[in-house]
Structure 1
Amino acid sequence: MSDIPLPFDAVVTRLRAAGCVFAEDEAALLLEAADSPAELERMLALRVDGLPLEHILGWAEFAGLRIAVDPGVFVPRRRTELLVKESVRLVHPGAVVLDLCCGSAAVGAAIAAATRAAVDDDTPRPAPNGPATAPTAAGAESVTVYAADIDPAAARSARRNLPDPAHVFEGDLYASLPHDLRGRIDILVVNAPYVPSDAIATMPPEARLHEARLALDGGDDGLDVQRRVITDAPGWLSATGHLLIETSEAQAPGTAALFTAAGLSPRIVHDDDLDATVVIGARRPA
């Protein structure tokens, strides 16, 4: 947009009036993305109307990457970076990773990028007009990332974000996965919906109106999908595999109890800066 006026102050004013907390940052991103005044006006009108910025831009920033996010798809939150960090601590060369309830597969893409970067000693850079890809190290034994989601729109976004689109499956939890993954998953990472049904109405309108409800609604206590994931997880984990699930700080004891009931030894990790909580479980010794 270098050849057209950049009405930065006017854009900021309209965004502020619409209640956008980070109006200056959003204005800069919209001005960068628009290729004409008409396009800027269209995008600005959508944002003022409440559409998430990420759905307008077509991408979300997450763990240093630009993650492709189509309209209606769950937008990755910064707190979920704790899920990535804890997964990367446990991953090993050649590991099999499954991003279940993947949404845009932001978590799986970030794990792949982080592990490749550690081998290659090169930080992945956001692509100028799309999702970032992890650098490839010659001869490096990288992790293999699979992903699955029940939402077709989420699966489409995930295929744009993972190195191998054929590793993205569409279906209800484990039902869509190839049978030969059973007993082979080293890192099973899950950001399942965990908002209690009655609390959906209290969420910001950007989420409750523009993201699929099935990506948010965790049932009466928020743990319905987690129960199903945890119950069947041991059959899919390798002998040294780990299950990692994002949850809320208040729900973490309940999530940990589900781990124990399934034969996994849980521990709870909380990050105050990210306001994030993850429960991690491994098989209990026989």
Structure 2
Amino acid sequence: MHQPNGRAAPSRPDEREIAARLRAAGCVFAEDEARLLATSGASDEALAVMLARRVAGHPLEHVLGWVDFCGLRLDVAPGVFIPRQRSALLVRCAAELTPTGATVLDLCCGCGALGAALAAVVEDLRLHASDISGTAVELARHNLTPWRAACYEGDLFDPVPRALRGSFDTILCNTPYVPTRRLPSLPREARVHEPRASLDGGPDGLDVQRRVAGEAREWLAPGGHLLFEVAQDQERRSARLLEDAGLRTRVCRLEEIDATVVVGRAPSAVPTEGRHG
């Protein structure tokens, strides 16, 4: 093949060549990433751009335009938090607690990964999702299309219709939980290419969780559950936040993926004395 100026166009790199370039750029999983790029179906020109972006340090998921999360292929884009594989534990815990036909809120939803993954394993959910980022909400709306989710843009519970107070059986909430002082130690991909608001949890990492915990009781149905993902060294403080909000708590931990989830359960409704079925 020749370009209009008569010079031969560079040949398409094969998977081995792509892996070599990725390895030289410091990509730990160069071979796996090379396979994904080589089989992406991109044209020669598009593949060259994708490879250059990855070598320059852009997250692989942003380069590909999608992420594999809990077996689902979900669209992602620059400016939106990339779902982490450790969040699969939050989905697993929620699936054990969420009944068929439940009303669910994916709070701080990002691209909608948690809600999508839960809806894929629990049938007939009435799914809602909220995020402060308009870009994230548009992605979530697209990713959650199969489940006809209602998506809202705004700060935490603010955009959620008031009529839904007291109706949520499950609230999934992957708030930012990195303490501000630890942000410089995050991988460059996260620091440079993901919104700080989706990472920075304030001085102890729990600022947003405090706000959620303070409002959650009025949104949860009797016996409903609120689930947070946290770092292992935050689990006791996070559990205390939920206890102070009147929720019964327990902690789930999965060492294999370094994941910790704190679960809070709202009190069940107390039957009225003398009431008959």
Regarding TM over 0.5, the answer is yes
1:94 Cα shift? 1.2
In structure 2, the partner of 1:102 is: 109
In structure 1, the partner of 2:38 is: 31
In structure 2, the partner of 1:44 is: 51
1:35 Cα shift? 2.6
Residue-by-residue CA offset, 1:147-195 (whole Å, 9 max, x unaligned): 1000111111111111356611110000010111100000001000000
In structure 2, the partner of 1:265 is: 248
In structure 1, the partner of 2:226 is: 243
In structure 1, the partner of 2:4 is: none
In structure 2, the partner of 1:232 is: 215
CA RMSD of aligned residues (A): 1.4
Residue-by-residue CA offset, 1:214-271 (whole Å, 9 max, x unaligned): 0000000000000000110000000121111101110010000001110001111111
Rg comparison, structure with higher value: 2
Q: Distance in 1 between matches of 2:246 and 2:267?
A: 6
Normalising by structure 2, we get a TM-score of 0.90
Higher relative contact order (CA 8 A, sep 6+): 1
Give the secondary structure class of the aligned counterpart of 2:128.
strand
1:210 Cα shift? 0.2
Does the CA contact (< 8 Å) of 2:222 and 2:267 recur in 1? Answer: no
Give the secondary structure class of the aligned counterpart of 2:57.
coil
Equivalent residue in structure 2 for 1:155, among 116, 133, 137: 137
In structure 1, the partner of 2:127 is: 145
User: For 1:41-120, what aligned pairs fall within 5 Å after superposition?
Assistant: 41-116=48-123
Matched residues, number: 258
Give the secondary structure class of the aligned counterpart of 1:83.
helix
In structure 2, the partner of 1:172 is: 155
Normalising by structure 1, we get a TM-score of 0.87
Gaps in structure 1 of 5+ consecutive residues: 117-141
1:283 Cα shift? 2.0
Instruction: Provide the identity percentage.
Output: 49
In structure 1, the partner of 2:171 is: 188
1:32 Cα shift? 1.6
Give the secondary structure class of the aligned counterpart of 1:176.
coil
Q: Distance in 2 between matches of 1:157 and 1:143?
A: 19
Tell me the amino acid that sits aligned with residue 54 of structure 2: R
Tell me the amino acid that sits aligned with residue 78 of structure 1: Q
Equivalent residue in structure 2 for 1:206, among 176, 179, 189: 189
Does the CA contact (< 8 Å) of 1:55 and 1:72 recur in 2? Answer: no
1:7 Cα shift? 1.3
Q: Distance in 2 between matches of 1:58 and 1:5?
A: 21
Q: Distance in 2 between matches of 1:165 and 1:30?
A: 31
1:6 Cα shift? 5.2
**Deviation >6 Å, runs of 4+:** none
1:34 Cα shift? 4.3
Residue-by-residue CA offset, 1:10-30 (whole Å, 9 max, x unaligned): 111100011111111111111
